[in-house]
């Protein structure tokens, strides 16, 4: 089988950096029209701002807050063919501030999905294993379709019309444990009502009566299935020293999101290859905090088939403690059957 590197016109994830101008501007160079964009100021304490095409560009959410969905007209104002446009919001475009955007490609504004007992609007990219699912819950046991045609290994839920926090399902934790994206005090907690103690399938998410995933005020879910050579969703155990744990992904990562699940009080972390393209990388941002970028020094190396920690720091690579993660490839390879393959 022949393999080709995904070019920018067919890529599905990309990190793009930019500098704010305090007015309006269009950010280009993403390589595709994104359907989900996550914005964060790097050098100043500003909120994370998450926007997707299913909810619309005037609807904002913040990963570091439990706030309900709110209306904003001057943050991300449009999704464009090679990026996105910005208004004059200080959160995303303050003059002179440096910013990062993480961008995913789904499948446009979405369509009706009636696979579950709850109807939903789903925008699904089955090749990349990413879907955006919007629905109004019942507050009682139910199912909802996710459109991936593969089992999601990580799902991020947010109640839209209320202040329930960001509920994260990760395959490692299982269907009766939740990690909160906006919370630092718990590695996870055990609400059996979250997913009705049932694993998702290739078509359905099972919902209990927990408002974090099944709110009558509306819910958005970002669903991720693992795709060989493009994404990896798994766990690793820290070893607590500078010759740190090596985590196999099968590709050179461009983005890694991870969290300690063994102990509370530790942050979520995001590292990417655009903010710090050279090894060892150390620039961290925290989904649960509005803090500016923090330089942890020599945190880890992004290598051809995974990432290797270069620190034993608590919260990053603590000896014997288990971390869950999600990673995306720098330059995934795709075969003639349009299926991403492992790095070589």
pLDDT tens digits, 281-319: 899 999 999 999 999 888 899 999 999 999 988 778 999
Give residue 29's pLDDT: 96
Q: Two tokens at 243?
A: 């010759």
**pLDDT band, residue 4 (cuts 50/70/90):** very low
Give residue 264's pLDDT: 81
Query: Please, is 217 exposed, middle or buried when counting C-beta atoms within 10 Å of its C-beta (0-12, 13-18, 19+)?
Result: middle
Give residue 187's pLDDT: 72
Tell me which DSSP letter residue 24 carries: -
Give residue 333's pLDDT: 53
Compute the C-alpha angle 156/162/168, nearest 5°.
15
Q: Do 32 and 82 touch, CB atoms closer than 8 A?
A: yes
**pLDDT band, residue 17 (cuts 50/70/90):** very high
For the ranges 80-89, 175-184, 249-258, the lowest mean pLDDT is seen at 175-184
Question: Which whole number is the average pLDDT over 224-249?
Answer: 96
Q: Two tokens at 37?
A: 């964009």
For all residues of the chain together, what is the average pLDDT?
A: 92
> Percentage of the chain surpassing pLDDT 90?
85
pLDDT tens digits, 21-74: 999 999 999 999 999 999 999 999 999 999 999 999 999 999 999 999 999 999
Q: Do 87 and 78 touch, CB atoms closer than 8 A?
A: no
What is the biggest distance separating any 2 CA atoms in the chain, rounded to whole angstroms?
50
Give, rounded to a whole angstrom, the gap between the first and last alpha carbons of the chain.
14
Count Cβ neighbours within 10 Å for each residue of 53-74 and write b for 16 or more, e otherwise.
bbbebebbbbbbbbebbeebee
Distance CA 97, CA 8 (A): 26
Strands 333-335 and 340-341: antiparallel
> Percentage of the chain surpassing pLDDT 70?
93
pLDDT at 112 over 60: yes
Residues in the chain: 344
Compute the C-alpha angle 229/79/271, nearest 5°.
45
Distance CA 120, CA 191 (A): 24
HEC profile of 138-203: CCCCEEEECCCCCCCCEEEEEECCCCCCCEEEECCCCCCCEEECCCCCCCCECCCCCCCCCCCCCC
Q: Two tokens at 153?
A: 């290994």
Q: Two tokens at 184?
A: 């630092």
Q: Is 92 helix (H, G, I), strand (E, B) or coil?
A: helix
pLDDT tens digits, 131-185: 999 999 999 999 999 999 999 999 999 999 999 999 999 999 999 999 999 987 7
Reported pTM: 0.94
């Amino acid at each position: 089988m022949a393999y080709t590197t995904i070019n920018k016109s067919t890529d599905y994830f990309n990190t793009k950096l930019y500098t704010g101008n305090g007015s309006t501007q269009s950010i280009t160079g993403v390589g595709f029209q994104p359907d989900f964009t996550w914005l964060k100021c790097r050098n100043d304490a500003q909120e994370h701002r998450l926007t997707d095409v299913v909810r619309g560009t005037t609807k904002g959410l913040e990963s570091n807050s439990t706030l309900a969905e709110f209306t904003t007209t001057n943050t991300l104002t449009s999704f464009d063919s090679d990026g996105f446009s910005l208004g004059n919001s200080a959160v995303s475009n303050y003059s002179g501030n440096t910013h990062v955007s993480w961008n995913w490609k789904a499948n446009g504004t979405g369509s009706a999905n009636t696979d579950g007992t709850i109807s939903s609007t789903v925008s699904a990219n089955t090749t990349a294993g990413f879907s955006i699912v919007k629905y109004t819950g019942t507050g009682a046991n139910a199912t909802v379709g996710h459109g991936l045609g593969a089992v999601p290994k990580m799902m991020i839920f947010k109640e839209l019309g209320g202040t329930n926090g960001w509920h994260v399902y990760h395959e490692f934790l299982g269907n009766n444990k939740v990690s909160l994206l906006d919370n630092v005090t718990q590695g996870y907690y055990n609400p059996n009502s979250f997913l009705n103690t049932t694993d998702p399938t290739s078509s359905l998410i099972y919902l209990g009566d927990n408002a974090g995933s099944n709110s009558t005020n509306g819910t958005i879910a970002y669903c991720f299935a693992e795709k060989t050579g493009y994404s990896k969703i798994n766990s690793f155990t820290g070893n607590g020293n500078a010759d740190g744990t090596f985590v196999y992904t099968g590709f050179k990562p461009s983005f890694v999101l991870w969290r300690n699940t063994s102990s509370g009080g530790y942050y979520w972390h995001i590292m990417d290859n655009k903010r710090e393209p050279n090894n060892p990388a150390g620039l961290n941002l925290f989904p649960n905090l509005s803090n500016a970028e923090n330089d942890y020094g020599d945190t880890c190396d992004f290598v051809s088939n995974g990432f290797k920690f270069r620190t034993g720091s608590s919260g990053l690579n603590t000896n014997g403690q288990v971390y869950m993660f999600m990673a995306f490839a720098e330059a995934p390879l795709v075969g003639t059957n349009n299926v991403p393959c492992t790095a070589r």
